[in-house]
Amino acid sequence: MYTGIPRWVAAIAAVGALFVLLPLAAMLGRVNWPQFIPLITSESSLTALGLSLRTAAASTVLCVLFGVPLALVLARGDFPGQRLLRSFVLLPLVLPPVVGGIALLYAFGRQGLLGQSLGIAGLQIAFTTTAVILAQTFVALPFLVVSLEGALRSAGSRYESVAATLGARPTTVLRRVTLPLVLPGLASGAVLSFARSLGEFGATLTFAGSLPGVTRTLPLEIYLQRETDADAAVALSLLLVVVAVVVVGLSYRGPAPAGSGGRSARTGTPGRVPA
């Protein structure tokens, strides 16, 4: 594998890395270490952290549930409007979260498109934990779709064609061939979705509100603590950074290297094909 990188590219890369690391290091310098443990284990902090972890987990499940079919349709399907559908699915990636929150409000809010029918059915979404999960799913879904669609495209459809010619039904091909092939891509997509859900702020603030234990996730708690207790805000920020680094670092391996190693690792376990 070719590994030659021009020196000037490396230099600019170093500046780029520094640009990301410097603020984090600066934040580390501002942490009130003697008070750090009491600050992050205060009742309000633990409540917010617990809520964040629970809602992010629920959102990740929703992302997988809806994202896998979406990615399959986008990668394997062939229908008019496919490109348009992809653009819209990916829109939350570039939308300011507050815009997402406003859009969700007009869809699921009390006066919203679906809100009135939901209200008649006795379902209130605004100001509930459900609203937080919806907001997180909205912003995190594209991460799963992008990762998985990429994995599907690079895996190709040779094994699936073989399975189909051997008489496997589409659902069997999906379960026994396609999904095992793209499992690494699915896993990294799910991790990215979880991390994005954990950091969701704008859409939650706009759409869900902020009540301890119900809708006030860790980012909202940090935003509020910053008003009065900078030490608590910094300590909680660090906590969020650590959780994010652990989650992403442990499970997200990034795109497989282009060399033969990654390829054979992927294609080595295509699952058993029924004869």
Partner 1 sequence: MRPGIRASAVLGAGTVAAVLTGCAAPAGDAGKTLTVFAAASLQTPFTALAEEFEAAHPGTTVTLSFAGSSDLATQISQGAPADVFASADTKNMAKLGGAGLVEGSPRDFATNVLTIAVPPENPASIASFADLAKPGVRTVICAAQVPCGAATKRVEQETGTTLTPVSEESSVTDVLGKVVSGEADAGLVYVTDVKAAGDKVQAIPFPESAQAVNTYPIAAVRTGKNQDLADAFIEAVTGTDGQRILRGAGFGTP
Q: Which residues bind partner 1 (CB under 8 A)?
A: 12, 15-16, 19, 105, 109-111, 126-127, 205-206, 208-212, 215-216, 220, 223-225, 227-230
Nearer CB in complex with partner 1: 29/81 = 29
Those residues with Cβ within 8 angstroms of residue 124's Cβ, 6 or more apart along the chain or in another chain: 110, 118
Nearer CB in complex with partner 1: 132/155 = 132
Nearer CB in complex with partner 1: 230/265 = 230
State the minimum distance, in angstroms, from the CB of residue 10 to partner 1. 13
DSSP assignment of the chain: ------HHHHHHHHHHHHHHHHHHHHHHHT--HHHHHHHHTSHHHHHHHHHHHHHHHHHHHHHHHHHHHHHHHHHH---TTHHHHHHHHHHHHHS-HHHHHHHHHHHHSTTSTTHHHHHHTT---TTSHHHHHHHHHHHHHHHHHHHHHHHHHHH-SHHHHHHHHTT--HHHHIIIIIHHHHHHHHHHHHHHHHHHHHH--HHHHHHT---TTTT--HHHHHHHHHHH-HHHHHHHHHHHHHHHHHHHHHH---SPPSSHHHHHHHHT---PPP-
State the minimum distance, in angstroms, from the CB of residue 38 to partner 1. 18
Nearer CB in complex with partner 1: 112/185 = 112
State the minimum distance, in angstroms, from the CB of residue 134 to partner 1. 14
Nearer CB in complex with partner 1: 18/265 = 18
State the minimum distance, in angstroms, from the CB of residue 96 to partner 1. 15
State the minimum distance, in angstroms, from the CB of residue 30 to partner 1. 12
Report how far residue 55's alpha carbon sits from residue 61's, in angstroms, rounded to the nearest whole number. Answer: 10
Nearer CB in complex with partner 1: 196/216 = 216
State the minimum distance, in angstroms, from the CB of residue 90 to partner 1. 17
Nearer CB in complex with partner 1: 31/183 = 31
State the minimum distance, in angstroms, from the CB of residue 171 to partner 1. 39
